[in-house]
Amino acid sequence: MYPDLKGKAALVSGASKGIGRAIAERLVAEGMQVLGVARSGCDAPGVLGHACDLREPAAADAAVAHAVSKFGRLDLLVNSAGATRRGDFLALNEEDWADSWALKFHAAVRLTRAAWPHLRAGQGGVVHIAGAGGRVASADFTIGGSVNAALMNLTKALADKGVAEGVRVNCVNPGSIRTDRLTGRIATVMAERGLDQVAAAEALARSTGVARFGEPAEIASVVAFLASDQAGYIQGALLDVDGGWVRAV
């Protein structure tokens, strides 16, 4: 637990399910005031939900304004929204690319821009949730890989600005985490290889060289740490939380 987080305020995008919801719940458990943003809002206990489509250019400003109006401050922004399409490069169309970049990258840019003055005033921070796919290229993950890599570059650039202005900016790269998205990938392996669910999950885990899949709560724990004073000297970090999937230096 991180006592210094108590009473502070956070905005978490993509908070309706999966990693984003786990992050929102953990921050509430730490005593933070949390606005959970998603197209369907967020009904997690203790989280104030805000329904909007972050692909819309005006949505980010409105979400940040709502958080500040409710909490009177904003100390942390967690950009966790966005699931990108997998598939053969030649089968992915313009809409697939535009939609993925709009929700995961451009929404993060807009939310960070809108939140920055408040984060600077409170000496707060930003945590981007990107993904291990931004480090390990895959032919069936061209959209997600490029978006995640762009978020990592954005992290380094904003951290440079943050050094001068007192805003810490870091990035977490989850590996294979047990979410609805992973369940869908396991189902695909089941269909393609004629395996049962357990065997398909084991095969998918082996394909990335990890012993097991991660849990959303494990990503949330890292975010809580990064938000706390105990991570006060961590700036511009790209943290792989992937069970050892990324083996490159």
Q: What is the DSSP string of 112-137?
A: HHHHHHHHHHHT-EEEEE--GGGTS-
Whether 79 is in a domain gets the answer: yes
Q: What is the pLDDT of residues 44-58, one digit of tens each?
A: 999 999 999 999 999
Question: In sequence order, which residues have a C-beta less than 8 Å from that of residue 136 and are 6 or more positions away?
Answer: 145, 245, 246, 248
Q: What is the pLDDT of residues 209-236, one digit of tens each?
A: 898 999 999 999 999 999 999 999 999 9
Q: Across all residues in the chain, what is the average pLDDT?
A: 96
What own/partner pairs with CB < 8 Å and gap ≥ 24 does 46-53 have? Answer: 47/12, 47/15, 49/15
Output the pLDDT for position 49. Answer: 98
| Total-model pTM | 0.94
Number of domains in the chain: 2
Q: Give pLDDT, residue 249.
A: 85
159/51 same-domain check: yes
Q: Are residues 80 and 125 in the same domain?
A: yes
Pair 75, 193 in one domain: no
CA distance 20 to 127: 12
Confidence of residue 68 (pLDDT cuts 50, 70, 90): very high
pLDDT in tens, 177-214: 999 888 888 998 899 999 999 999 888 888 888 989 99
Are residues 197 and 224 both part of a single domain? Answer: no
Whether residues 90 and 122 fall in one domain: yes
Residues 70 and 182 in one domain: no
Instruction: State the helix-helix crossing angle for 107-122 and 59-71, rounded to 10 degrees.
Output: 30
- Domain-located, residue 246: no
Give the residue-averaged pLDDT of 28-43: 97
Same domain, yes or no, for 105 and 220?
yes
Same domain, 82 and 99: yes
Average pLDDT of the residues in 118-133: 97
Q: What is the pLDDT of residue 39?
A: 96
In a domain, 41, yes or no: yes
Residue 51 sits in a domain of what CATH number? 3.40.50.720
pLDDT band at 83 (very low <50, low <70, confident <90, very high): confident
pLDDT at 205: 87
Residue 241's pLDDT band, with cuts at 50, 70 and 90, is: very high
Query: CA-CA distances (angstroms) from residue 190 to 177, 184, 200, 204?
Result: 18, 10, 5, 10
pLDDT band at residue 20 using 50, 70 and 90 as cut-offs: very high
Domain that holds residue 204: 178-213
Percent of residues, the chain, with pLDDT higher than 90: 87
Same domain for 106 and 33: yes
| Confidence band for 78, pLDDT divided at 50, 70 and 90 | very high
Strand duo 76-79 + 9-13: pairing: parallel
